[in-house]
């Protein structure tokens, strides 16, 4: 089984996901045409 971990926004989060066995990572950064990352309170 392969697992993708999304919304990685720092090297620390990437290292944690990789250490926990992630097969792929989805990265997040600021977006020029929109709000970018959704605050945790809205999730």
Tell me the per-residue pLDDT of 8-18, one tens digit each, with 9 for 90 and over.
988 999 999 99
pLDDT for position 16: 96
Share of the chain above pLDDT 90, in %: 49
Q: Per residue in 7-32, is it b (16+ CB within 10 Å) or e — as a string?
A: ebeeeeeeeebeeeebeeeeeeeeee
Q: Residue 8 is inside which H or E element, if any? A: strand 4-8
29 contacts 36 by C-beta, under 8 angstroms = yes
Assess whether pLDDT exceeds 90 at residue 40: no
32: helix, strand or coil: coil
What is the maximum span of the chain, computed from C-alpha positions, in angstroms?
Answer: 35
């Amino acid at each position: 089984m392969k697992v993708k971990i999304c919304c990685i926004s720092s090297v620390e989060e990437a290292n944690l996901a990789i250490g926990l066995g992630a097969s792929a990572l989805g990265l997040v950064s600021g977006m020029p045409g929109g709000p970018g990352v959704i605050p945790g309170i809205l999730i």
